[in-house]
Amino acid sequence: MVEQPSVSLRPVKAAFALLIALHALLPEAGCGSSSGAGGPCDPAKCRAGNQCVDDGTGTSCHLVCATQTDCPFDFHCTPSLTSGDAGAVLNYCAADAKSYTPGPGTWGASCNPTGGMLKNPDCDASQGFACNAASPTDASAYCTQFSCTSDSDCRGGWWCATINAQPNATTSTRSMGQTVRVCEPRLYCSPCTADVDCSPSSGPEHCIADDQGGLYCAPECTGDSICNIEASCKTLDEKSACDGSNGPCVCVARANECVGDGKLCAPCRSDADCPMGLCVQADYSTEHFCTVTSGVPCMINGQNQLVDQCPSTDEANVDVGCTTTADGNDAPTNQCVGLTTLGTNPNTGKTQYVLGCFTPDR
């Protein structure tokens, strides 16, 4: 369990400033709910940048948005029940479920892992922000909220992710089955409900369906080289390869899902997705897949590294191995793993195997 830093009361001056910011998003006089005493919403009475939209409680003036960055601090961009031009969904800025005082050390601010996870000097610990890092030397570490319970606890474009408890800002050692909840930006393969949920890092992203009926974020692409190696560039309907003339195209997971059934080689985000083993990262890609813990100490057939005590996998071009020693810092011993080939070992002349399940042969 991760201790949640204490939260202090917001200063009166900061709270007053927040009220002023909120006022800018409130309906103009005479532009209330369509069923309210003020009558139907009149677009002419909305502030600049606001339109009459249905937020589920009625139609009133709201600031419209196309991306999360169009909304002010403590607000998120979300689809309305109102259609815009050509029937497109009209997005608007809605207040976050939890309110924070803007300032340094809040959402996404850089933090130095050497300052620790909790009460990191780069993060606003007084409001509960802590340093999320993949290791004590992670140059991409950032301030966020731990111990979230749902996506609504996070800022717009972020979600309440389940991640392995370790490695983190204080240790490079991986945990074995322990996980924590933390607000993270929605990147490739993060769950979503609409395009606007996804946080484009280098271009537009879309919320596409997986094989199980779930939805995940996928960036636009023009070819496989733009995607993670465990994904391929396909048309938006995910049915055919992108040839440059049938766009827009998106990076579709080769496994056709970002979280699977927990069996060997099923895609995963954390150990919580792998009840029979662990969620490990491939040796030469960013893909994560489930291992299965071997019932006995791993014994490898020296000829081809296949093992009898491990389950098989239906993945094409994937063999099965069993770790007799720890593979890097992610796969410990006695784990049944997926193996793909990486050319020939220059010292032995034999085929070289590396951890992987959904990547094509290199």
58: alpha, beta or left? (left if phi > 0; alpha if psi -120 to 50):
left
Maximum Cα interatomic distance, the chain, rounded to a whole number of Å: 83
- Answer whether 286's CB lies under 8 Å from 343's CB: no
Residue 28 lies in a domain: yes
Asked if residue 69 belongs to a domain, the reply is: yes
- Whether residue 361 is contained in a domain is answered as no
* Residues pairing with 355 in the sheet: 339
pLDDT tens digits, the chain, 362 residues: what are they?
A: 333 333 232 333 333 333 334 444 443 332 333 333 456 899 999 999 999 999 989 999 999 999 999 999 999 999 998 877 667 789 999 999 999 999 999 999 999 999 999 999 999 999 999 999 999 999 999 999 999 999 999 999 999 999 999 999 999 999 999 999 999 999 999 999 999 999 766 678 999 999 888 999 999 998 888 898 889 999 988 778 888 777 789 999 988 899 999 999 999 999 999 999 999 999 888 899 999 998 888 876 554 444 567 888 777 678 888 888 887 768 899 999 998 888 888 888 888 888 888 766 43
339 inside domain: yes
Alpha helices in the chain (DSSP H): 12-23
Q: Which domain holds residue 236?
A: 195-253
Residue 54 in any domain: the answer is yes
In a domain, 106, yes or no: no
What's the domain count of the chain? 4
Same domain, 239 and 287: no
Residue 75 included in any domain: yes
Among 185, 218, 244, residue at a domain's last position: 185
Of 65, 95, 125, the one marking the end of a domain is: 95
Q: Residue 17: its pLDDT value, please?
A: 39
Whether 142 contacts 109, CB under 8 Å? yes
- Say whether both 177 and 200 belong to one domain: no
* Position 238, amino acid: E
199 and 181, same domain (yes or no): no
Count Cα neighbours of 16 within 13 Å in the Cβ-side half-sphere: 3
